[in-house]
Amino acid sequence: MFRDKQIDLAISRLKANVHTPLRVVLWDGREVAFDDEARATIRLNDAHAAEALRRPSLLALARAYIDGEAEIEGDLREAIRGAEAISRAIAPRTARAFAPEHHSRRDDRDAIHHHYDVSNEFYALWLDPRMVYSCAYFRTDADSLAAAQVQKLDHICRKLRLAPGERFLDIGCGWGALAIHAAREYGVDATGITLSQNQHRLATERIREAGLEGRCRVLLQDYRDLAGEERFDKVASVGMFEHVGLANLPAYFAVVRRVLREKGLFLNHGITSSDVRNLEVGMGAGEFIEQYVFPKGELPHLHRVVHDMSAQDFEVHDVESLRPHYAKTLGSWSAAFEARLVEAAAASSERTARIWRLYLAGCAHAFEQGWVSIHQVLASRCTRPGPTELPLTREWMYPR
């Protein structure tokens, strides 16, 4: 009885402070509408689920859905906006600092396995045909996701000024799309590395199917185990350094400096914090990602990326924010996931599908709101004085 009174009090407070097109249906049949025209419904299956309304956060509300104590009906993106409004209403929550994480080779391998080795079939349901699992590059709002991903691959290759015969390294290569594209379209000798066994297996198959075995390969390898010095003319890292850890960024960039030739180009494409103190996304969103999706993930602010690259003898030439592009990419992924939700559960589990349903739609919202961002940083290895190998303007990056 006491708990029911507390929940009733929490609902009254929410109704007085929240105005969003969301409806909440309680386990006893009562309905709470936060707007006259609700476009989404959160249905709480029991009194325990309603506890999330007493001290609401994005983590608490997500956990109720993941555990099957709540259901979402209607517009998922609107439900997430409503969950944000509810989370903000009771008490403002500040973002917490990333706790320094230990990133041993085994830790990172386990984290990659958790995120990427759900199954190749799972990812193929909602990614583009090349299975590019990173921010696309849209030239117009009408571009399809598949077209925008090819445009992204080209955008990276042009920025790096790839030329036939050059040695190219892709750190964290995913299912091999960039390495294959660079070898086939730009004539480079491409090497990709990944810690995911599923990615390594499928990438190797795709390289063989493309007839590129002689000048394209994917290795199952930790970036810290890259051997040799000045082995590569150009290096890219796409969606990788989020896994490295803030404390390990200097070591990560030092490895790139070691394997890249003098004046060679390095493009780092990664998600960045919007907070200069490198704080997590607030209201429990960062904790949700840490617990359920990306264990040990840490996001640096852009200023830290540039600082740590510069400290490792990289001269930064160009910085480009792709935040609107990632909001659009994630929106496309989320819509594709919604359309194949039953198949996604069959390719993983009901619980995993619930997690990823929230994750994709929630990340689209996060990038739209500017909670996080994403940047491409182009730099060259400059350990000795002298001119760069770049033209005077950036015109080479954009096709006429």
Residue 71 CA to its chain's centroid (Å):
25
Closest among 148, 131, 138 to 196, alpha carbons compared? 131
H/E stretch holding 76 reads helix 76-90
Residue pointed to by tokens 């075995």: 213
Paired strand residues for 25:
31, 43
- Cα distances from 202 to residues 224, 293, 374, 385, in angstroms, run 23, 22, 27, 43
- 363 catalytic per annotation: yes
40: left (phi over 0), alpha (psi -120 to 50) or beta: beta
> How many Å separate Cα 218 from the centre of its chain?
21
Contact 248, 355 (CB under 8 A): no
Catalytic position from the list 157, 216, 363, 382 = 363
Sign of CA dihedral 394, 269, 214, 124: negative
Rounded CA gap, 150 and 202, in Å? 19
Secondary structure (DSSP) of 36-71:
SS-SEEEEE-SHHHHGGGTS--HHHHHHHHHTTSEE
Q: Which residues belong to the active site? A: 363
